[in-house]
């Protein structure tokens, strides 16, 4: 096919050879790739000795990036389908709290608490989507309502039931639970022990864990991030449903007239976003062993920023899951890098604002190139 | 009227209609867009729908292609009552439409637009993947048949010219219109060569037994391919004429909402 496309180009005298640079420019991932290189160069140059690039340090920013990635993929597919979900952060808090209430307060088995929470949260996502497609209201408003509704319940429920806003003790009840370990466990321990024994990564020198590697396995959170990214990327670029996602966000009316089930696509994307938020929440609850009413605050905006850095258009119909994942990586590396470098953490927000503005301007420019507006 | 002789027109009178629309009404709030329009389409005929701006032509074909649900009236598809819930139903029944506003997504590539809603798939390891290679090949081939050489199937539709875009929409509808092909002013932006290509395509699919609904403001185009002519005016039918029963002048007057164009024509030197 590459050949015949090539010959088609050759046969048309009205086409200037598109320069490889320009061709690269119109990839949605461009911003994410440039940003990733820039960020790593910066920290390698200025914070190499800060411990950021030791095994422990790398694991630290990888975990933070993976958290961003999980919610960014959901937000990315939803944004390409032409909608936003501002309730992601509240959903994270809500999902974590429900797991805690089910498993600790009600003493359900943890696997059941997790499954019921997933069902509940994905249904709430469906309700979000249903209201948006039925009323034709902007998803911005509908999900803003859910931002408050869910956060309200996340504070109200534990206060009424337990008279506190943090429910702990999840690690004890999750001990040995098969589903809990899918979210809170680690894999590859043997490999890291081997690395440690062979001196490839540092080992603890003192204390009860002396001799053990400083990084003892890959958290399941990272596995979830990888699985969700690959799933999202393949779904978007390689399947017919992916084409429907682009079409629904590009022009819902045109897509509908061409036979794309736009409503179904949008509702499913709201459900997927809720699913991602719940994965995030479950991993977090298993890691901390507790659920707090303020968990997930502002996460919806961080997810959207990662997606925009990744090249997606706020207006829908264009974007990339890999780009969003890179956006999340930039996010995680900068946030933790500034911490390692001992920079005042409030500067992170300055950085966020600046990079968001830059990304949006770049994306608008790219869109003009693609659609030939100029 | 040179195109007139080029096409042999099928005589489809004795056939049963593929679709029969009876007394269709469509109201938008207080606006009555269609006040009872009846229409039928037989296999292998080209039925022209003519009329002034705002007469209700687009609204009418949208009820046929599942975009609008009629406020009142009945649709019989192959003699069975039919209720299209959405365009997807109509498309799977074999009705493909080129809408006046084309239904193309500028940010998506030509081949993705071409197969939007009807993507070919290929099974790999039990999972259905979008068969991009096949989609690209068919798109290039169909576009070439319509007389347009695309730079490549990955070109975004937004970068195509208006006429090229229209051609993609037509090629797509021809490809998917197994039983009925609806063309809402498909030639409004086309060059001479592409227009005659479209007219020839209408003739070709008609000879394959597809029923064509053709909306145009151009009498010559309508007369060149039409077998029957239905004129709409202000949401109602002014009547249906068979080919040969009506002169171009009469048709033109009807299309202008029944008003005499003679006066205007006089002042413009007969160029309308
Ligand atoms: N969605 C809508 N809401 C309200 N009124 C509508 C809607 N669609 C069409 N109309 C009205 O219905 C009437 C018929 O419109 P329609 O688009 O069918 O005309 P048309 O015959 O296709 O005209 P043209 O030749 O200009 O394309 C117009 O008066 C229009 O204002
Ligand atoms: Mg119209």
Q: Residue whose CA is closest, atom 5 of ligand 1?
A: B28
What is B19-107+159-264's CATH superfamily?
A: P-loop containing nucleotide triphosphate hydrolases (3.40.50.300)
For residue B86 the two structure tokens come to 């959405």
The CA-atom distances, in angstroms, between A242 and each of A304, A341, B166 are 20, 41, 24
Pair of tokens at residue A125: 């996502």
**Domain coordinates in residue numbering, chain B:** 19-107+159-264, 108-155
Q: What is the pairing mode between strands B228-233 and B46-51? A: parallel
Burial of B178 from C-beta contacts in 10 A (0-12 / 13-18 / 19+): middle
Whether residue A24 is predicted with pLDDT greater than 50 in this model: the reply is yes
pTM for this prediction: 0.90
Q: Do A371 and B151 touch (CB under 8 A)?
A: no
Tokens representing residue B197 in the block: 């290509």
Residue minimizing CA distance to atom 24 of ligand 1: B53
pLDDT of residue A7: 41
Nearest CA to B132 among B152, B115, B156, B155?
A: B115
pLDDT at B187: 85
Lowest mean pLDDT among A260-264, A281-285, B5-9, B189-193: B5-9
Tokens matching residue B74: 């009945």
Q: How far is the CA of B162 from the centre of ligand 2 (A)?
A: 17
What is the rounded average pLDDT of the residues B210-227? 91
- The span from the CA of B70 to the CA of B83, in Å, is 9
Amino acid A9: pLDDT: 40
Q: Distance between CA atoms of B122 and B117, rounded to whole angstroms?
A: 15
A107 touches chain B (CB under 8 A): no
Helices then strands (H, E): number in chain A?
A: 17, 4
Chain A, window 142-161: residues with a beta carbon less than 8 angstroms from a chain B beta carbon: none
* Nearest CB partner across the interface for B107, out of A9, A259, A371: A371
Arithmetic mean of pLDDT, A201-215: 78
Tell me: the pLDDT tens digits for B98-136?
999 888 999 899 999 999 999 999 998 888 999 999 999
Inter-chain contacts counted by CB atoms under 8 A, chains A and B: 112
The answer on pLDDT for A174 being more than 80 is yes
ipTM above 0.90, yes or no: no
Q: Which chain A positions have a beta carbon within 8 Å of B65's beta carbon?
A: 257
Residue A346 Cα to ligand 1 middle (Å)? 56
Among chain A residues, CA nearest to B67? A257
CA distance B49 to chain A (A): 20
Is the CB of A102 inside 8 Å of chain B's CB atoms? no
Using one digit for the tens of pLDDT, what is the confidence trace for A119-157? 999 999 999 999 999 999 999 999 999 999 999 999 999
Q: Which atom of ligand 1 is nearest to the CA of B56?
A: 18
Tell whether A318 is within 8 A of chain B (Cβ). yes
C-alpha span between A34 and B42 (Å, rounded):
59
User: What does the domain layout of chain A look like in residue ranges?
Assistant: 30-39+52-364
pLDDT at B23: 94
The whole-angstrom distance between A264's CA and the closest CA on chain B is: 12
Kind of pairing between the strands at B46-51 and B211-215: parallel
Tokens 């497609």 map to which residue?
A133
Query: Longest Cα pair distance anywhere in chain A, in angstroms?
Result: 76
| Most A CBs within 10 Å, among B106, B125, B126, B166, to test the A interface | B106
B156-187 tens-digit pLDDT: 898 888 888 888 998 999 999 889 999 999 98
- Tokens 């600790």, residue located: A104
């Amino acid at each position: 096919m590459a050949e015949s496309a090539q010959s088609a180009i050759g046969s048309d005298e009205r086409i200037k050879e598109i320069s490889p640079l320009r061709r690269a420019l119109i990839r949605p991932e461009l911003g994410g790739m440039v940003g990733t290189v820039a960020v790593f160069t910066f920290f390698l140059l200025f914070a190499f000795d800060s411990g950021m690039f030791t095994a422990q340090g790398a694991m630290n920013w990888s975990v933070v990036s993976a958290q961003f990635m999980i919610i960014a993929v959901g937000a990315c597919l939803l944004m390409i389908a032409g909608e936003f979900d501002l309730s992601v952060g509240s959903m994270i808090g809500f999902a974590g709290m429900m797991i805690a209430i089910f498993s600790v307060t009600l003493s359900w088995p943890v696997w059941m608490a997790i499954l019921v929470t997933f069902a509940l949260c994905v249904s709430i996502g469906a309700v979000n989507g249903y209201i948006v497609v039925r009323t034709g209201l902007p998803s911005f408003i509908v999900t803003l309502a859910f931002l408050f509704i869910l956060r309200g319940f996340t504070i109200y429920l534990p206060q009424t039931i337990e008279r506190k806003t943090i429910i702990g003790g999840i690690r004890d009840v999750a001990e040995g639970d098969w589903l809990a370990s899918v979210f809170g466990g680690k894999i590859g321990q043997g490999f890291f022990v081997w690395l440690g024994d062979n001196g490839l990564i540092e080992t603890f020198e003192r204390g009860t864990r002396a001799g053990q590697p400083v990084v003892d396995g890959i958290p399941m959170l990272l596995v979830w991030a990888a699985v969700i990214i690959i799933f999202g990327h393949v779904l978007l670029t390689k399947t017919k449903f992916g084409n429907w996602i682009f079409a629904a966000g590009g022009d819902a009316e045109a897509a509908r007239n061409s036979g794309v089930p736009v409503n179904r696509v949008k509702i499913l994307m709201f459900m997927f976003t809720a699913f991602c938020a719940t994965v995030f929440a479950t991993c977090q609850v298993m890691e901390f062993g507790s659920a707090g009413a303020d968990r997930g605050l502002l996460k919806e905006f961080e997810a959207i920023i990662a997606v925009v850095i990744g090249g997606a258009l706020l207006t829908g119909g264009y974007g990339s899951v890999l780009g969003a994942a890179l956006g999340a990586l930039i996010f995680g590396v900068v946030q933790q890098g500034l911490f390692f470098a001992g920079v005042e953490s409030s500067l992170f927000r300055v950085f966020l604002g600046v990079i968001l503005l830059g990304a949006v301007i770049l994306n608008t420019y790219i869109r003009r190139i693609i659609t030939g507006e100029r | 009227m040179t195109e007139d002789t080029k096409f042999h027109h099928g005589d489809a009178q004795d056939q049963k209609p593929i679709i029969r629309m009876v007394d269709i009404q469509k109201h938008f709030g207080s606006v009555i867009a269609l006040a009872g329009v009846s229409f039928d389409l037989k296999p292998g005929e080209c039925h022209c729908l003519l009329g002034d701006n705002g007469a209700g032509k687009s609204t009418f074909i949208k009820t046929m292609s599942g975009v609008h649900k009629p406020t009142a009236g009945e649709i019989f598809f192959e003699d069975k009552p039919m209720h299209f819930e959405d365009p997807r139903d109509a498309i799977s029944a074999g009705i493909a439409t080129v809408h006046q506003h084309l239904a193309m997504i500028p940010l998506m590539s030509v081949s993705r637009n071409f197969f939007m809603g009807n993507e070919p798939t290929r099974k790999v390891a039990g999972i259905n993947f979008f068969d991009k290679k096949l989609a690209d090949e068919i798109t290039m081939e169909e576009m070439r048949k319509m007389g347009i050489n695309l730079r490549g199937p990955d070109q975004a539709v937004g970068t195509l010219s208006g006429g090229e875009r229209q051609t993609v929409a037509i090629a797509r509808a021809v490809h998917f219109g197994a039983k009925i092909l609806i063309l809402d002013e498909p030639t409004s932006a086309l060059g001479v060569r592409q227009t005659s290509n479209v007219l020839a395509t209408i003739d070709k699919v008609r000879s394959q037994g597809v029923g064509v609904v053709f909306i145009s403001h151009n009498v010559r185009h309508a007369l060149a391919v039409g077998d029957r002519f239905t004129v709409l005016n202000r949401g109602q039918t002014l009547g249906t004429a068979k080919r040969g029963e009506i002169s171009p002048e009469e048709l033109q007057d009807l299309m202008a909402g029944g008003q005499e164009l003679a006066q205007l024509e006089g002042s413009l030197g007969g160029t309308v």
